[in-house]
Amino acid sequence: MSPPKRRGRPPNQLAQARILKAAHDILTEDGFGRLTVEAVAARSGVGKPTIYRQWANASELAMAALMSRDPGIIAGGGTSLRSALTGQMRSLIQAFATTRGRQIAMTLAAADPESEFTKAFRNQVILSSREAGRALLLEAAARGEIMLQQDLEVLLDMIYGPVFYRLLVGHRPLDTGFADSIVAIALEAVAARADR
């Protein structure tokens, strides 16, 4: 986290901030399709090469903009696993049900999967909630509230994957009932029962 003390003229912090702000505004107002380097340069009053020095293309810029203003859904207060998980899923879905959710999905789809930028984006924006969910499940298992006999990674994908699925495919709505049902089914699969 220490500044590497690079030589020469340092990047203009203000310019960088204005670039990200402009990118984010365009993203929410016009969508990912309109997020071009030209448009961001024009809107932020910055030259194109200034942008290209920091980001290789428009989709990296989009990811940076989305990361710079994203809380990251992690919270999940509550005593029982069900209440904590339900709370998290509801706020996750609420955050993704907006236009921004679709922008995130489009950005991810368009991004180079190998890029370091993409990996950071994945971890911070996409997978952070999944990690929080893993913690919740492991704690509950330690309390004996559930039995994790199945593959935990797959179970997590079955909880968080459907959100993306509906977001991208759009065959059914993203609402709170969806959040509740996912949790209910997932808990059914890991219920600690007598019959075994």
Give 12 or 99: the residue with its C-beta nearer to a second copy. Answer: 99
Cβ within 8 Å of residue 53, ≥6 positions away: 11
Q: What span, in angstroms and rounded, lies between the C-alpha atoms of 124 and 128?
A: 5
State yes or no: residue 116 binds a second copy (CB under 8 A): no
Site string for DNA, 2-21 (x = CB under 7 A): ---xxxxxxxx--xx-----
State yes or no: residue 81 binds a second copy (CB under 8 A): no
State yes or no: residue 92 binds a second copy (CB under 8 A): no
Q: What span, in angstroms and rounded, lies between the C-alpha atoms of 192 and 133?
A: 18
**Which token pair is 28?**
């929410």
State the DSSP string of 88-152.
HHHHHHHHHSSHHHHHHHHHHHHS-TT-HHHHHHIIIIISHHHHHHHHHHHHHHHHTSB---S-H
Cβ within 8 Å of residue 65, ≥6 positions away: 20, 23, 24, 27
Q: Smallest distance, Å, CB 2 to DNA?
A: 12
Choose the stretch contacting DNA; rule: CB under 7 A; options: 49-57, 82-90, 116-124, 143-151. 49-57
Site string for DNA, 136-155 (x = CB under 7 A): --------------------
Q: Smallest distance, Å, CB 100 to a second copy?
A: 14
Choose the stretch contacting a second copy; rule: CB under 8 A; options: 39-47, 63-71, 84-92, 102-110. 102-110
- Count of residues interacting with a second copy (CB under 8 A): 43
State yes or no: residue 11 binds a second copy (CB under 8 A): no
Give 46 or 190: the residue with its C-beta nearer to a second copy. Answer: 190
State yes or no: residue 108 binds a second copy (CB under 8 A): yes
Residue 187 CA neighbour count, 13 Å, CB half: 17
Choose the stretch contacting a second copy; rule: CB under 8 A; options: 4-12, 74-82, 119-127, 133-141. 119-127
What one-letter code names the amino acid at 140? A
State yes or no: residue 37 binds DNA (CB under 7 A): yes
Residues listed for the chain: 196
